[in-house]
Amino acid sequence: MAKVEILMPSMGESIFECTVLKWLVNEGAQVQVDDMILEVATDKIDTEIGSSHTGIITKFLVKEGDVALIGNPICEIETDSDVVIQKVGEKTEEDYANHLEKSFEEIVSMPNLLSSSASRFYSPLVLNIAKKENISQAELDNIKGTGFEKRVTKDDILDFINSKNTPKKFLSETPVIQHVGEDQIVEMDRMRKMISKRMVESKAISPHVTVFMEADMTSTVNWRLKIKESFIKEFKENLTFTPILIEAVVSALKKYPGINIQVEGENIIYKKDINIGMAVALPSGNLIVPVIHQADKYSLSQLAVKVNDLAKRARNNQLKPEELLGGTYTITNIGTFGNLAGTPIIMQPQVGIMAFGVIRKMPAVIETPDGDLLGIRQKMVISHSFDHRVIDGSLGGLFVKEVTDFLENFDTKRVLN
């Protein structure tokens, strides 16, 4: 048998490191290819890592709490294979070293931040914890490291902090609960901290403008009711409104590519692919946005299956990191919660996001050749928030009008295939 190393796989173009949360197997365990062996956290998602080989795990090379670089070995495995497969497009160790050096230089160049000593390297995570906990350079240099090449890990510095009887536990996975009189103070979990940070950043980056339109959804509602049962029988999936809404947005993006863009400095990037993010509420109350890549390539039935699959796996924490990357436009179906309308915040670096309100029966004026009538129609409010740096009111308004027209003129005789 050959002894090879399992590498930390790529998790997307913008992710260069992750935090090791928990080993899912023990040393000495027999595993098959794609068996889940490790749980990790990035700044986007908690996910599980599968084994790249079949064999026996002989040694862990990273510990729980360590920050592991993408492309670096995480464990050793004895296997019948003599070849370590390098995945296509995987960055070299030099690429990751250069990125880590750049990240480190950015951190130590900031005022009041600690740095690596002449003989010791500290990860950006450790330096950030040290800064927040007011740990001096001398104290940091004296912490015994248990990581690779005796580097200080997150657990090492947290143990040091706890040994000083510091009541605050930085980055603790278990919420810190305090009671002040009858008030209860609960520390944000990691995901809520990320959401909070990104929402504030988005409002600071993009001058948000939100426009609203009321859509008559009667044709769409009637068609869905007519086809709902047969769809379940044929595709073994529920047909929700979400894939229909996504199809409407995709159609509008094709007509108005100036919405499917990103801003980079003083340049506007027109994205070739249409990748639709869809907001999913998690059982914890947090929000996550999986992405349907090249959504314009899907039929409506394929979209329905994809939407249900992503939503289910999102709620069960089973998404892959790449399924959260690369979105070019996002939708959120706030009508699920009975909301009439909202002013959603843009997912950077996108320039627009659309919220769909609850569909409800409303009295409406119906125009006929014989005159106007008063009737009951299924109405929904659509709101479109856009980045006013690059999208003016005319384009922002025409885009939401295009989505509205698509839904109002939905073909009630449509047949799915």
What are the structural domains of the chain?
Answer: 2-79 (2.40.50.100), 93-187 (no CATH), 193-408 (3.30.559.10)
What integer pLDDT is reported at residue 147 of this predicted model? 64
pLDDT at 65 over 90: no
Which one of the listed residues 99, 208, 293, 388 is annotated catalytic?
A: 388
pLDDT at 101 over 50: no
- The partner residues of 364 in beta bridges, in order of sequence, read 375
pLDDT digit string, tens, across residues 184-221: 898 887 778 888 988 999 999 999 999 999 999 999 99
What integer pLDDT is reported at residue 87 of this predicted model? 39
Where residue 277 falls among pLDDT bands split at 50, 70, 90? very high
What integer pLDDT is reported at residue 145 of this predicted model? 81
388 is an active site residue: yes
Residue type, 352: G
Q: How many CA atoms lie within 13 A of 111 on its CB side?
A: 0
- The partner residues of 269 in beta bridges, in order of sequence, read 262
Which one of the listed residues 46, 392, 405, 411 is annotated catalytic?
A: 392
If you average pLDDT over residues 90-98, what whole number do you get? 45
Q: What does the H/E/C string look like for the chain?
A: CEEEEEECCCCCCCCCEEEEEEECCCCCCEECCCCEEEEEECCCCEEEEECCCCEEEEEECCCCCCEEECCCEEEEEEECCCCCCCCCCCCCHHHHHHHHHHHHHHHHCCCCCCCCECCECCCHHHHHHHHHCCCCHHHHHCCCCCCHHHCCCHHHHHHHHHHCCCCCCCCCCCCCEEEECCEEEECCCHHHHHHHHHHHHHHHHCCEEEEEEEEECHHHHHHHHHHHHHHHHHHCCCCCCHHHHHHHHHHHHHHCHHHCEEEECCEEEECCCCCEEECEECCCCCEECCEECCHHHCCHHHHHHHHHHHHHHHHCCCCCHHHHCCCCEEEECHHHHCCCCCCCCCCCCCCEEEEECCCEEEEEEEEECCEEEEEEEEEEEEEEEEECCCCCHHHHHHHHHHHHHHHHCCCCCCCCC
What integer pLDDT is reported at residue 257 of this predicted model? 97
Q: How many CA atoms lie within 13 A of 406 on its CB side?
A: 19
If you average pLDDT over residues 327-335, what whole number do you get? 96
What integer pLDDT is reported at residue 16 of this predicted model? 75
pLDDT at 243 over 70: yes
What integer pLDDT is reported at residue 88 of this predicted model? 34
In sequence order, the 6+-apart residues with CB closer than 8 A to the CB of 357 are 334, 335, 339, 340, 341, 342, 380, 381, 382, 383
pLDDT at 405 over 90: yes
Q: 84-88, 169-173, 227-231, 361-365 — which is least confidently predicted?
A: 84-88
Burial 239-261 (b: 16+ CB within 10 A, else e): bbbbbbbbbbbbbbbeebebbbb
Residues composing the chain: 417
What integer pLDDT is reported at residue 107 of this predicted model? 38
Are 37 and 31 a contacting pair, CB within 8 Å? yes
pLDDT at 134 over 60: yes
**Torsion angle (degrees, nearest 10) of CA 146, 152, 158, 159:** 40
Q: 91-95, 228-232, 364-368 — which is least confidently predicted?
A: 91-95
What integer pLDDT is reported at residue 175 of this predicted model? 62
* Euclidean distance between CA atoms 60 and 74, whole angstroms: 6
* Euclidean distance between CA atoms 311 and 318, whole angstroms: 10
Percent of the chain exceeding pLDDT 90 equals 52
Are 347 and 275 a contacting pair, CB within 8 Å? no
- Give the residue with greater pLDDT, 249 vs 314: 249
Are 49 and 38 a contacting pair, CB within 8 Å? yes
What integer pLDDT is reported at residue 91 of this predicted model? 42
What integer pLDDT is reported at residue 90 of this predicted model? 43
* Euclidean distance between CA atoms 39 and 47, whole angstroms: 6
- Most confident segment among 34-48, 181-195, 253-267: 253-267
53 is an active site residue: no
What integer pLDDT is reported at residue 201 of this predicted model? 92
What integer pLDDT is reported at residue 123 of this predicted model? 67
Are 18 and 67 a contacting pair, CB within 8 Å? yes
* Euclidean distance between CA atoms 352 and 23, whole angstroms: 39
In sequence order, the 6+-apart residues with CB closer than 8 A to the CB of 101 are none
For the chain, what is the radius of gyration of the CA atoms?
25
pLDDT at 258 over 60: yes
What integer pLDDT is reported at residue 287 of this predicted model? 87
Taking alpha carbons only, the member of 127, 133, 202, 136 closest to residue 169 is: 133
Percent of the chain exceeding pLDDT 70 equals 84
If you average pLDDT over residues 307-326, what whole number do you get? 89
Kind of pairing between the strands at 276-278 and 329-332 = parallel
- Most confident segment among 81-95, 112-126, 240-254: 240-254
pLDDT at 395 over 70: yes
What integer pLDDT is reported at residue 100 of this predicted model? 42
Q: How many CA atoms lie within 13 A of 361 on its CB side?
A: 4
Mean pLDDT, the chain, rounded, equals 84
- Give the residue with greater pLDDT, 295 vs 21: 295
If you average pLDDT over residues 13-36, what whole number do you get? 85
